[in-house]
Amino acid sequence: MQVSMKVNGEEVTREIEPRVLLVHFIREELGLTGTHWGCDTTNCGTCVVLLDGQPVKSCTVLAASAHGHEVRTVEGLASNGSLDPVQQGFMAEHGLQCGFCTPGMMLTARALLDKNPHPDELQIRQAISGQICRCTGYATIVRSVQWAAEHPAAAGDPPGTGTDEEDVRA
Amino acid sequence: MTTTHEHPANPAAGDPDRPVGFGRIQRKEDPRFIRGKGRYIDDIVLPGMLHGAILRSPVAHARLVSIDISAAAAHPKVKAVVTGKDLEGLKLAWAPTLSADVQAVLATDKVRFQGQEVAFVVAEDRYAARDALELIEVEYDILPPVVNARRALDADAPVIRDDIEGRTDNRIFDWEMGDAGATDAVFARADVTVAQEMVYPRVHPAPMETCGAVADFDPIDGGLTLYETTQAPHAHRTLYAMVAGIPEHKIRVVSPDIGGGFGNKVGIYPGYILAVVGSILTGKPVKWVEDRSENLMSTSFARDYLMKGEIAATRDGKILAVRTSVLADHGAFNATAQPTKNPAGFFSIFTGSYDLEAAYCSVTGVYTNKAPGGVAYACSFRVTEAVYLVERMVDVLAAKLQMDPAELRLKNFIRPEQFPYKNKTGWEYDSGNYAPAMRLSMQLAGYEDLRREQAEKRERGELMGIGVSFFTETVGAGPRKHFDIVGLGMADGAELRVHPTGKAVVRLSVQSQGQGHETTFAQIVAEELGIPPEDIDVVHGDTDQTPFGLGTYGSRSTPVSGGAVALVARKVREKAKFIAAAMLETRAEDLEWEKGRWFVKGDPGAGRTIAEIALAAHGTLALPEGIDGNLDAEVTYDPPNLTFPFGAYICVVDVDPGTGRVKVRRFIAVDDCGTRINPMIIEGQVHGGLTDGVGMALMEIIEFDDDGNCLGGSFMDYLIPTAMEVPDWETGFTVTPSPHHPIGAKGIGESATVGSPPAIVNAVVDALAPFGVTHMDMPCTPARVWEAMQGRATPPV
């Protein structure tokens, strides 16, 4: 079957088997390997992407269900060469170690901040509670999201924020 | 936070002219991860690559009657179907384990645990490979399984390993440490003795990325490139050379970015070998990535120790001796990854942080019809079990003597002047200063206030618990004369090259799974050479590009590889001195080092930086006798001893009297890992380990039913803490450097996983004291806590 969707702002169309999962479509058809896979049961959340702005676990969404919708992956977080404040926050506050759950965590954080620019600690914890991180113990992820909330201006392109070229050592 | 000694936090941040070494800096690996540009095993795609999938046994113990692969082989997208019989022809049906046993790659005679590998399919895509598994018909003749380790040595227990000639029972080993007679004598004369049976249940490291491999065999030159999720690429390469008969120089093992390891990715799994077989058979690269159930049901589990602990003490609380016996469930194959001479790992460190007169332990290892493994999940070669045992027992003693558990610990610590301290089972603790760490944790916790609050709450019928643990870790194996894995000495290499422009590359034998090696090891070189960490590239995880060494597990990267890196940098620095002397037309002994440059004593203006020296080394300068034209060095570091990090943890829980639900309200962790390289990374390592502790103490368990069916085979059943189950961690530290480590660092990767479970369980038991509870086993789930409140606490196995 043919599916079309907008992924990170770009229209894509592919011929696929109807049973193909969105996570495999993103990773294997589109080659966007920043979206990971960690379980089969919608528990771990390493596969979280934004579907029309809402975090979904792409291991339990058929690619066909995303037909006509908008998908945003970690590769679509930075814009115009500027990192999303969430990405900067994760680096600044050590919100990642192995990096495997990180894309999903950051996308959930982005969706949260879009709805609620000043979440408290509990709201952040609740937002990421459908996702598992085995490395960080979550406190630094919470701080990373708080950092992003405190630096919303970084979303534009102000001086001093990291860019793809400059942020290796913030 | 207080400390006895601390490096300034990145004093020169942002100033490229001022080099920095130790201190908080952002991680060099993060820019790729936050963009989704990490390269994990499943991200690797090679031209023409095929996909493998494994058919696994649905039963725990059965004789294989027949396998019919004809329908699978006829699937249009299937390229190969492999069974144990095929592997027998290749002499690959059985592979050696890391504990001198063998493990079936694909079953030939029997299946011995649910989830065991039975057949392997290679197909054009991953969906087709899975489809074809459904087409394979296997007939099993079901045998009675051995599920409970306590039944494994019964006279009528089925013999699981009848593949081993002459085997008539399920005993793997009997091992003892310490002095039984001396210990018995102390127990006989002690005022007070306490005993408690306890279970450290089977748990699983469950890294977020499962295990996998991409094998790429080149039939023309006979070379194999194997990408795999391994914490020990060099050890794996050597073992593949021994197993598969491919010459070692023709094997390249690449461990790409690893999505968490925790010991799960130390062993060699049948899937890795099958990917290689698939690539040899098809002439194409073959990828195999297990699913979550395969990961939980077949790869290295952790713990599964059934223990009895005993303490002998004086009436006023001086601990005299500790005695313990253990039944260790190793599953169907003895595949634990641990040093050869230590079948129970470092369990004999169960003497803990206390100055004892005598100690003795005996451990019996048995086979059961369960997945193999045992040493994993950040356990420091079973220090986890040892610390749990002694820290739980100290609380049992405290309850009996009606003493405060923190005070009881303070009374019994090894004193600072006793270090280096030789314990009663032969370990030499390198350094320690325990009481300040204990007092700091009590101060951070507000211990007295907490006890007052608890007393008030008890009056009102509320259940609040305060749990204390104090642990001594044992990491950095090790001196190669004492420690090897399948004959390979546990040393690690490092190579350092300073390029002509003063930028450097350091190559490591260890491999990060998230610990931040690309940052930490650059900082060590930076500290030693005075060039900024961003000018130092860290290369790891590729056997073609790195020196030999045993890899990352048991918190050994900093103690072993960190030593190697410091020493290789010092070697370069020493060489730079002679080149600088030639440049300055003076004698080397007249030069003095300050971070980043050699200068003439008494004339600080006359000096040369490492970058200037590097350029001269590669330039036209007439070099001194015996100095060749580069600024490179290499070392293999064989540490003189292990390192012994320690910490004091306090946990505060509230238990819902109606449901038995435990809420960890606060957790205070004071760690001492010696010299601190990057405090941010250290804190992260501690946080992660504390979360493991909450998981093990309250949630995680791999259970089996009577037929040997695994009941923890998915994340629906195997519960891991989310952000909602853990508090905001409170950390502190002291610094007691290791006297023998080149930079005084001790390692931190597993301290919190080792130290936190007893603090949490002690807190739960403390909360339940009004019900007369003196012990309950992990996991302290609501149902099990509620049972304990009814006086019906049961062991989980």
Q: Is the pLDDT of residue B18 over 80?
A: no
- Provide, as residue numbers in chain B, all residues whose Cβ is less than 8 Å from the Cβ of A72: none
- The pLDDT confidence band at residue B7, using thresholds 50, 70 and 90, is very low
Question: Do both A100 and A64 map to the same domain?
Answer: no
Q: Is the pLDDT of residue B104 over 60?
A: yes
> pTM of the entire structure?
0.96
Question: Do both A71 and A131 map to the same domain?
Answer: no
Q: What is the CATH number of the domain that holds B727?
A: 3.30.365.10
Q: Which of A76, A110, A125 is the last residue of a domain?
A: A76
What does the pLDDT read at residue A143? 98
Structural domain includes residue A169: no
**Model pLDDT for residues B357-387, shown as the tens digit of each residue:** 999 999 999 999 999 998 999 999 999 999 9
What does the pLDDT read at residue B192? 98
| φ, ψ dihedrals at B131, nearest 5° | -55, -45
Question: Do both B461 and B559 map to the same domain?
Answer: no
Provide mean pLDDT across the span A140-164: 72
Q: Is the pLDDT of residue B112 over 50?
A: yes
| A79–B contact, CB cutoff 8 A | no
- How many structural domains compose chain A? 2
Structural domain includes residue B315: no
Q: Which of A52, A76, A100 is the last residue of a domain?
A: A76
- In A119-148, the residues whose Cβ lies within 8 Å of chain B are 121, 124-126, 128-142
Structural domain includes residue A162: no
- Record: contact A135-B684, CB cut-off 8 A: yes
- Record: contact B715-A90, CB cut-off 8 A: no
Query: Which of A39, A40, A143 to substitute to test the interface with B, most B CBs within 10 Å?
Result: A39
Rounded Cα–Cα distance for residues A74 and A47 (Å): 10
Structural domain includes residue A21: yes
Question: Do both B624 and B653 map to the same domain?
Answer: no
Rounded Cα–Cα distance for residues B776 and B758 (Å): 11
- The pLDDT confidence band at residue B595, using thresholds 50, 70 and 90, is confident
Question: Do both B461 and B523 map to the same domain?
Answer: no
| φ, ψ dihedrals at B738, nearest 5° | -75, 130
Question: Do both A103 and A66 map to the same domain?
Answer: no
Structural domain includes residue B509: yes
Q: What is the CATH number of the domain that holds B64?
A: 3.90.1170.50
Question: Do both B629 and B674 map to the same domain?
Answer: no
Give chain B's mean pLDDT: 96
Q: Which of B298, B324, B351 is the last residue of a domain?
A: B298
Q: Are A137 and B688 in contact (CB under 8 A)?
A: yes
- Record: contact A128-B729, CB cut-off 8 A: no
Rounded Cα–Cα distance for residues B648 and B646 (Å): 7
Q: What is the CATH number of the domain that holds A93?
A: 1.10.150.120
Question: Do both B614 and B527 map to the same domain?
Answer: yes
- The pLDDT confidence band at residue B10, using thresholds 50, 70 and 90, is very low
Position with higher pLDDT, B4 vs B271? B271
**Model pLDDT for residues B485-534, shown as the tens digit of each residue:** 989 999 999 999 999 999 999 999 999 999 999 999 999 999 999 999 99
ipTM: 0.96
What does the pLDDT read at residue B8? 40
What does the pLDDT read at residue A81? 87
Rounded Cα–Cα distance for residues B77 and B52 (Å): 12
Considering only the beta carbons, identify the residue of B42, B514, B726 that sits closest to A135.
Answer: B514
Question: Do both A10 and A71 map to the same domain?
Answer: yes
Sequential DSSP letters for B678-704: -HHHHHHHHHHHHHHHHIIIII----B
- Provide, as residue numbers in chain B, all residues whose Cβ is less than 8 Å from the Cβ of A131: 722
Considering only the beta carbons, identify the residue of A91, A103, A142 that sits closest to B36.
Answer: A103
Q: What is the CATH number of the domain that holds A50?
A: 3.10.20.30
Question: Do both B569 and B713 map to the same domain?
Answer: no
- Record: contact A132-B209, CB cut-off 8 A: no
- Provide, as residue numbers in chain B, all residues whose Cβ is less than 8 Å from the Cβ of A141: 723
Q: Is the pLDDT of residue B614 over 80?
A: yes
Rounded Cα–Cα distance for residues B215 and B184 (Å): 55
Structural domain includes residue B4: no
- Provide, as residue numbers in chain A, all residues whose Cβ is less than 8 Å from the Cβ of B689: 137
Q: Which of B241, B270, B298 is the last residue of a domain?
A: B298
What does the pLDDT read at residue B366? 98
**Number of A–B residue contacts, CB under 8 Å:** 182
Rounded Cα–Cα distance for residues B20 and B14 (Å): 10
Structural domain includes residue B349: no
- The pLDDT confidence band at residue A153, using thresholds 50, 70 and 90, is low
- The pLDDT confidence band at residue B139, using thresholds 50, 70 and 90, is very high
| A12–B contact, CB cutoff 8 A | no
Residue A87 is encoded by which pair of tokens?
């990405």
- How many structural domains compose chain B? 3
Structural domain includes residue B85: yes
Contacts of B625 (CB under 8 A, 6+ apart): none
- The pLDDT confidence band at residue A168, using thresholds 50, 70 and 90, is very low
Q: Which of A76, A102, A118 is the last residue of a domain?
A: A76
Question: Do both B473 and B499 map to the same domain?
Answer: no
Query: Which of B28, B35, B46 to substitute to test the interface with A, most A CBs within 10 Å?
Result: B35
What does the pLDDT read at residue A127? 98
Nearest C-alpha of chain A: how many angstroms from B9?
A: 14
What does the pLDDT read at residue B478? 85
Q: Is the pLDDT of residue B17 over 70?
A: no
Q: Is the pLDDT of residue B671 over 80?
A: yes
Question: Do both A69 and A93 map to the same domain?
Answer: no
Structural domain includes residue B391: no
Q: Is the pLDDT of residue B608 over 90?
A: yes
Structural domain includes residue A137: yes
Question: Do both A67 and A93 map to the same domain?
Answer: no
C-beta atoms surrounding B137 within 10 Å: 12
**Model pLDDT for residues B703-749, shown as the tens digit of each residue:** 999 999 999 999 999 999 999 999 999 999 999 999 999 999 999 99
Residue B352 is encoded by which pair of tokens?
């803990």
Structural domain includes residue B397: no
Question: Do both A66 and A89 map to the same domain?
Answer: no
Range of the domain at A143: 85-156
Q: Is the pLDDT of residue B613 over 70?
A: yes
Q: Which of B587, B612, B637 is the last residue of a domain?
A: B637
Structural domain includes residue B256: yes
Rounded Cα–Cα distance for residues B580 and B225 (Å): 42
Question: Do both B781 and B667 map to the same domain?
Answer: yes
Q: Assign B656 to helix, strand or coil.
A: coil
Q: Are B504 and B526 in contact (CB under 8 A)?
A: no
Q: Is the pLDDT of residue B11 over 60?
A: no
Chain B's closest residue to A162, CA to CA, is B31
**Model pLDDT for residues B382-418, shown as the tens digit of each residue:** 999 999 999 999 999 999 999 999 999 999 999 999 9
Question: Do both B79 and B126 map to the same domain?
Answer: yes
Considering only the beta carbons, identify the residue of B37, B516, B534 that sits closest to A34.
Answer: B37
With 0-12 / 13-18 / 19 or more C-beta atoms within 10 angstroms meaning exposed / middle / buried, residue B591 is: buried
What does the pLDDT read at residue B57? 98
Which ranges in B666-770 belong to alpha helices (H)? 679-694, 751-767
In this prediction, what percent of chain B has a pLDDT beyond 70?
98
Q: Are B215 and B45 in contact (CB under 8 A)?
A: no
Chain A's closest residue to B294, CA to CA, is A39
Question: Do both B534 and B522 map to the same domain?
Answer: yes
Nearest C-alpha of chain B: how many angstroms from A143?
A: 10
Question: Do both A68 and A112 map to the same domain?
Answer: no
- Record: contact A98-B514, CB cut-off 8 A: yes
Quote the strand ranges of chain A, DSSP E.
2-7, 10-15, 48-51, 54-57, 70-72
Question: Do both B551 and B571 map to the same domain?
Answer: yes
Query: Which of B15, B20, B30 to substitute to test the interface with A, most A CBs within 10 Å?
Result: B30
Range of the domain at B777: 429-477+642-797
- Provide, as residue numbers in chain A, all residues whose Cβ is less than 8 Å from the Cβ of B45: 31
Question: Do both B81 and B138 map to the same domain?
Answer: yes
Quote the strand ranges of B559-614, DSSP E.
591-594, 597-600, 603-609
Question: Do both A72 and A90 map to the same domain?
Answer: no
